[in-house]
Structure 1
Amino acid sequence: MNRQARAVYAWEDRVVAPRDASRVPFARMQALVDHVWASEGLRWPPRVRPKRPSRATLATGSRLAIEAPAELPSWVLLHEIAHAMTDPDDGTPGNHGADFLGVYVGLLVRHARMDPGLLAESLAEAGLAWNPAARPLLAGA
């Protein structure tokens, strides 16, 4: 895991997780992914499929699939949806860069009702670069 990913995870633990205690059972995840995907103007959302337990990652997200356990915090599911929206679909692993964070923050604001000012300020305090104008790579698709 690179420095940026570690910093993003630490920021989430400190800022995002305490502001969203909601959890999504696996049986409802696809409906939530479909809703978020459509509300962002996208078609053909990734499929949600079961993820084998792992110490390394709770869930994973790519353009084609989001792998998740039996239940996830909703902010984690939004994190994975942001990965799916910013996955270059060229076989390279997703990252936690400025465009990913821009899309993710937008999802947190629109779908988890988080304060955009607080998120921007906390990202600056954490030294995380983000692109507030970032859009899903598939916009218009």
Structure 2
Amino acid sequence: MSRGDRAARRLYAWEDAEVAPRDASRVPFARLQALVDHVWAAEGLRFPPRVRPLPRQARGTVARATRLAIEAPAELPSWVLLHELAHAMSSTADGGNDGHGPGFVGLYLQLLVRHARMPRAALEASLTAAAIGFDPAARPAFLDRPAREPAIGD
């Protein structure tokens, strides 16, 4: 997650205002893979991304993810790990991804509700108020997707 991505600034501001205050927990690097494996399995998925250290030269990056790997520092807020898991779920092995689009935000919302026990209605209302589009029926990009209705905010 890079704080300099212009397209994502609104989402980051929303996270700072709505998500971070609801979850102050932090996960040490040594426990990240177990948490990734747990969330991945709880979502009915196989072959979770591997956690590896964030390179030192990635100074402006909090964490980053692809379908196959999550790069993280020595400690990470649990909601940031869920953010990165949503990136892994909205990406494909060939590098395709939804960026911070409605599919990603929909997956992230689902993870926050299920794994951080955050209130869905309040998060949906705050996303709508912030004009951040989300797909409430989002599914991982690498699964067969049924036809969907337009995302909220599209």
For the aligned pair, the TM-score class normalised by the smaller chain equals over 0.9
Alignment of 1:1-141 (within 5 A): 1-3=5-7, 5-53=8-56, 54-92=58-96, 95-139=99-143
Number of residue-to-residue matches in the alignment: 139
- CA positional deviation for 1:139: 3.6
Long gaps (5+) in structure 2: 145-154
Task: Provide the rounded CA distance (Å) in 2 between the counterparts of 1:93 and 1:139.
Answer: 13
Contact 1:24 1:71 survives alignment (8 Å): yes
Indicate if the aligned counterparts of 1:123 and 1:129 stay in contact, CA closer than 8 A.
Answer: yes
Larger RCO (alpha carbons 8 Å, 6+ apart): 1
Paired residues of 2:87 and 2:97 also in contact (CA < 8 A): no
In structure 1, distance between residues paired with 2:132 and 2:95: 25
With the length of structure 2 as denominator, give the TM-score of the two structures. 0.86
Structure 1 consecutive aligned stretches of length 4 or more whose deviation exceeds 2 Å:
52-55, 88-94
Q: Which amino acid aligns with 1:36?
A: V
Q: Distance in 2 between matches of 1:31 and 1:20?
A: 19
Q: Root-mean-square deviation (CA), in Å?
A: 1.4
Unaligned segments of structure 1, at least 5 residues: none
Secondary structure at 1:134's aligned position in 2?
A: coil
